Structure 1
Amino acid sequence: MKVGFIGTGSMGTVLIESFIRSGAIRPSAVVAANRSHEKAVRLAARYPGLTAAGSNGEVAAACDLVFLCVRPLSFKSVIDEIKPYITADQIVISITSPVLLKHLESALPCKVAKVIPSITNEVQSGAALCIYGERMNGEDRTSLERLLSPISKPIRVAESYTRVTSDISSCGPAFLAYFVQKLIDAAVQVAGMPREEATRLASETLLGTGKLLNEGGYTPESLRQRVAVPGGIIEAGLELMERELETTFVRLLQATHAKYDEDVEKIDQLFFGSIID
């Protein structure tokens, strides 16, 4: 089986390298193309056997699975370019949340899916959100999830939850990293702690907390209750966070949803010429 990647930017490269390093795909089974051909050539140099294609059409013609790892507003032009090479038995996979299944199915004759990866897949961890078009049968879905399993935990979600699930799994690492960075900054500012030491400590704490939530049987609420002693230092800190952050995360999701809706409208116009429901 040949697996193609159109777009070798940040997430395209994460997927390619994660698949290869995990052993899920051999370099010789990968065909990659990028708008800047040199990027694909550099990948091929790092992973002997990987093919740096000269065009997107070459990827589409050669591969059974094709991952589209391009910016949302580039999708229509890329799909128009590869459509002549796509057959009904191929699977085309978008990794971009605002590009909907209806966009892909209206423009391509093949099976389509969406897989929303996470930067955590780089270390063979975290979720990969799987959203399937109507042409994908049970065997297709199982096969794709088997491919994703060495680098992630594949989780099937409804397309109506694409944005909120992406906020948690795909955007979540950036949001959590921001929170950790602010905690580190405060440790340096308030206590004069060396930044390197604070960073190492915070990183280990985040890793351990994740293990408690995934393997230790805790929920976020029960973990808070287990650690915070009534009337103690942790409770004082949590009370402040409750006051200061009461609506922050609701507003955070409202902001990401607003941007998502804006992007979907633009893509509707590209694919259908007008905004539709």
Structure 2
Amino acid sequence: MTKIGFIGFGSMASLIATKIIETEVAAPEEIILYSSSENEHFKQFYDKYPTTELASHEAEVFTKAAHSFICKVPLAVLPIIKDCAAVLTSERHVVSIAAGVSTSDILAISPELQISKLIPSITTAVGLGTTLITHADTVTKTNSTWLENTFEHFGHVMTIREENIDIASDLTSSSPGIIAAIFEQFVEAALRKSSLSDAEVFQMINFALAGTSKLLAEEDYTFSGLIERVATKGGITAEGVELSESELPKFFDELLDRTQTKYASSKKEIQAQKQDLLS
């Protein structure tokens, strides 16, 4: 029996494990997980899938699983790799979902490890969105294909160069939260300028977003093509488009500047930690 392992079991690990079972990539008894705390995500998953195997420590997951997902905060990843070095032999395939920790960082601690990096998106919960994947040169074709095919079952997969993964993460993993924040402000503005209820405005925006996404995905529209179709020259929509084109470039430039600064700060911490672990 091929096992799929999880180390750390928060929101994203629960989502990935659930989708793996729902899409029949693996049965519950083929999942092995270790969590240092029995949080709500762990409890709900185990209540639903009680035949899941529970490991007593991280090394047990690595030893038993053909593919092991590390779903921990960035500063927890390299210490786990070092602590479990004895079992992390060249046939092990490990998948990290931590931002800021590169495959080369992990290989510095465990040079022969087959390590892939994966950036999931919450939108995979509904079978949409893009999962980003990058593989170290140590990963075999069999394991890279398994990972890519697994995530194609519940969304779209893009394999990219690791140097582009931070910006790409903003466009895939972070964008649902950013889009929600932008349109929450649109809702608030509409409430300030009308007697519509919160629920009414939310429903209008919600269906407009869903419909726009469907047009882009199914009717082969581009953003500019959709704008041209909706925004009649001199019309009301054109006023909004003109304002967006004037004001939003600086907003999105600053947004990416801020996220890249945050990535750089995280990477600096990881590099300092790596030096400590290697010394």
Determine helix, strand or coil for the equivalent of 1:85: coil
CA-to-aligned-CA distance 1:32-53 (integer Å, 9 cap, x gap): 1112146545522221211222
Contact 2:96 2:118 in 1 (8 A): yes
Are 1:26 and 2:27 an aligned pair?
yes
TM-score, normalization by structure 2: 0.93
Aligned-residue offset at 1:154: 1.0
Root mean square deviation of aligned Cα: 1.6
What percentage of aligned pairs have identical amino acids? 28
Measured in 2, the distance between the counterparts of 1:26 and 1:206 equals: 35
Match of 1:120 in 2: 123
Match of 1:58 among 57, 60, 63: 60
Aligned-residue offset at 1:253: 0.4
Counterparts in 2 of 1:13-52, with a 5 A limit? 13-37=14-38, 40=42, 42-52=44-54
Contact 1:18 1:123 in 2 (8 A): no
Contact 1:31 1:50 in 2 (8 A): yes
Measured in 1, the distance between the counterparts of 2:127 and 2:177 equals: 17
Q: For structure 2, list consecutive stretches of 5 or more residues without a partner in the other structure.
A: none
**For residues 25 and 201 of structure 1, do their structure 2 counterparts lie closer, same or farther at Cα, with a shift above 3 Å needed?**
farther
Measured in 1, the distance between the counterparts of 2:185 and 2:43 equals: 39
Match of 2:96 in 1: 94
Match of 2:175 in 1: 172
The one-letter code sitting in structure 1 at the alignment partner of 2:25 is A
Measured in 2, the distance between the counterparts of 1:82 and 1:120 equals: 32
Are 1:248 and 2:257 an aligned pair?
no
Aligned-residue offset at 1:97: 2.4
Match of 1:153 in 2: 156
Aligned-residue offset at 1:80: 2.1
Determine helix, strand or coil for the equivalent of 1:128: strand
Measured in 1, the distance between the counterparts of 2:137 and 2:216 equals: 34
Contact 1:118 1:127 in 2 (8 A): yes
Measured in 2, the distance between the counterparts of 1:122 and 1:28 equals: 21
Determine helix, strand or coil for the equivalent of 1:66: strand
Counterparts in 2 of 1:70-81, with a 5 A limit? 70-81=72-83
Q: For structure 1, list consecutive stretches of 5 or more residues without a partner in the other structure.
A: none
Aligned-residue offset at 1:125: 1.4
Measured in 1, the distance between the counterparts of 2:194 and 2:39 equals: 47
Measured in 1, the distance between the counterparts of 2:18 and 2:64 equals: 20
